[in-house]
Structure 1
Amino acid sequence: MLVEETVVTDAALPVVAFREHLRLGSGFAEDALQDGLLAGCLRAALAAIEAQTNKVLLTRQFSATVQNPPRGAEYTFAVAPVGQVLALTQLAADGSETALEVIAHRLLPDAHAPRLVPHPPVPVRGQLKISFEAGMGAAWADLPHDLAQAVMMLAAHFYETRNASGGATAEALPYGVNALIARYRVVRLSAGRRWS
């Protein structure tokens, strides 16, 4: 179970750049009138692209709870890239919590499937809560240009079709967005193995 512990702040969203991308008018007192709507479109586009790629674009904190992990098993993170593990907590069946030493566990970085190797092995009947930081960058300027462009394009699509009612026939991601995020997607070839 993956939980987003912190959210992307309004200050991290490129609302001004998005307004320019849309070629909205400027120089009027009402410039900021649509900022809430623009920020909402950017957040939706970020969420959609992160869901399609399993990549976290703007850095934030997450926690993952592993139910009854096999003794000594590696944990493969559901998202990437993982920058650091912040805390590890063992949850016993009786509800008690035991903090584990983060330094005793090894983070194996990977562009698509970073892994955590626990040491010592977690008991079979325990749960493991992993608090970690993931993301490609703390600021918009830190993102790869193709992903930043994909977010802008998808946010513009959401903005322009915000009043459209869709159903089973609603179109998928625009072709240009799909083309830009294609190399970041994880292709699954068999159960349990992930390949890029």
Structure 2
Amino acid sequence: MGLRPARGGAVVLDDADRAAALGELREWLRSSGDSDAVLATLVETALGLGEAFLGMALIARDFRDVIPVSGAWSALDMMPVTTIGEVQGLPADGAAFVLTASSYAIDIDGNGIGWVRVMQPGSAGRVSVAYQAGVASDWASLPEPVRQGVVMLAAHLRQAADGVGATPPAAVTALWRPYRRMRLNHAVRA
């Protein structure tokens, strides 16, 4: 289903999505001379850059955020959030423990931002929240302009390795701009 968890690291496609993405990239490059590993790295790098530019996870995968305990709502880092799972208490000393459902509240707003509020943390000073976020379930489900921008950027990265073209094509940002989500300040919820 899309990507394997890679919190804080590179985007890693699963086998089915890797094969689909490599097929599109090979068509774009009109070449099959590069190894799958090289092209997969380029596609995954382009996906990661796309996520950074767009401000959201592209292919759904699991994330885990650690947030401080307070009675206020805290926004999760990635969006659009599709599900919020286990909430674990993280005490300063000792092992993590699962909080009971009555000790916290969760919500996903209309913008896909996930929210967590911990009312009874026990001995925890922080909590770890497992959730899933992403625009699409797999490579084929990505909006066509987003997928095309990823392929174009991956092709550019490949060609730049040969010394062709120093700057990414402006068409990539033109394709992605309508999908861009920006947070001008940290989300606050009453």
Structure-2 separation of matches of 1:149 and 1:77: 28
Please show how residues 130-169 of structure 1 align to structure 2 within 5 Å: 130-164=129-163
CA RMSD, aligned part only? 3.0
1:12 to 17, 32, 37: 17
- The code of the aligned residue for 1:83 comes to T
TM-score (norm 1): 0.77
SS where residue 126 of structure 1 aligns?
Answer: strand
Unaligned runs of 5+ in 2: 1-5
Deviation at 1:115, TM superposition (A): 2.7
Structure-2 change in CA distance of 1:183 and 1:123 (3 Å)? farther
Q: How many residues align?
A: 179
Unaligned runs of 5+ in 1: 25-30
Structure-2 separation of matches of 1:183 and 1:121: 41
Deviation at 1:188, TM superposition (A): 4.4
TM-score (norm 2): 0.79
Structure-1 separation of matches of 2:110 and 2:79: 8
**Partner of 2:172 in structure 1?**
177
Structure 1 residue 109 and structure 2 residue 109: aligned? yes
Structure-2 change in CA distance of 1:186 and 1:18 (3 Å)? same
Q: Contact 2:43–2:151 (CA<8 Å) still a contact in 1? A: yes
Structure-1 separation of matches of 2:7 and 2:128: 11
Deviation at 1:119, TM superposition (A): 5.0
Structure-2 separation of matches of 1:33 and 1:149: 20
**Partner of 2:62 in structure 1?**
61
Stretch of structure 1 that moved more, 102-111 or 127-136: 102-111
**Partner of 1:192 in structure 2?**
186
- The code of the aligned residue for 1:108 comes to I
Stretch of structure 1 that moved more, 117-126 or 90-99: 117-126
**Partner of 1:83 in structure 2?**
82
Off by >6 Å, runs of 4+ in structure 1: none
Deviation at 1:90, TM superposition (A): 0.8
